[in-house]
Amino acid sequence: MTTTDDYATYIASLPRVLAGAAALYLDAAGRVLLVEPNYREGWALPGGTIESDLGESPRAAARRESAEEIGLDLPLGRLLAVDWVLGSARPPLVAYVYDGGVLDEARLAAITLQEDELLSWRMVEPAELTSYLPGALGLRTEEAYRVLTSGEGTAELENGRRPAAT
């Protein structure tokens, strides 16, 4: 076996990790834009899977998914949170959340849902996020909102929470 074969075998043996990216959009009142998928229970931020086989970065994925899901193709702001989420029925997930900006009335009126995947959208008060968003997603979104509104640096999360210092 050649060194190239050894390396390919090694790479194939590594654990699989999923990667996703989303955008946190607000309205002028500070409410958060959520979308309702038709393929699972609960709500979500506009976003989805990073297509790394196409060379896509997390930022590019969040922008592409937003354009596909809600019809808004806007430059994204800073990275608000990155979350390592363990799963029992799936591989671990690394989730990135970017600042999507504040949507004015014209942009909100221009939202066009991707009907193949989404049922509806709504603006949600920050205090209600975990009522709409399950598990780590709700905690991650709360933390991303807190980082955005406080001006703090990017939040490093594990299962939606800041890890204990080690």
Ranking 14-23, 54-63, 129-138, 141-150 by mean pLDDT, the lowest is 14-23
In a domain, 59, yes or no: yes
In a domain, 24, yes or no: yes
- pTM for the model stands at 0.92
In a domain, 7, yes or no: no
- Mean pLDDT over 28-45 rounds to 96
Distance CA 70, CA 48 (A): 12
Residue-level pLDDT at 7: 87
**Distance, C-alpha 75 to centroid of its chain:** 15
In a domain, 135, yes or no: yes
Q: How many domains does the chain have?
A: 1
Residues 103-117 have pLDDT tens digits of 999 999 999 999 999
Residue-level pLDDT at 2: 62
- Cβ count within 10 A of residue 59: 18
Residues 122-163 have pLDDT tens digits of 999 999 999 999 899 999 999 999 999 999 999 999 999 999
Backbone angles phi, psi at 113, to 5 degrees: -75, 145
Please report, for the domain that includes residue 137, its CATH number. Answer: 3.90.79.10
Distance CA 38, CA 71 (A): 17
DSSP 8-state assignment for residue 57: -
In a domain, 8, yes or no: no
Domain that holds residue 59: 18-158
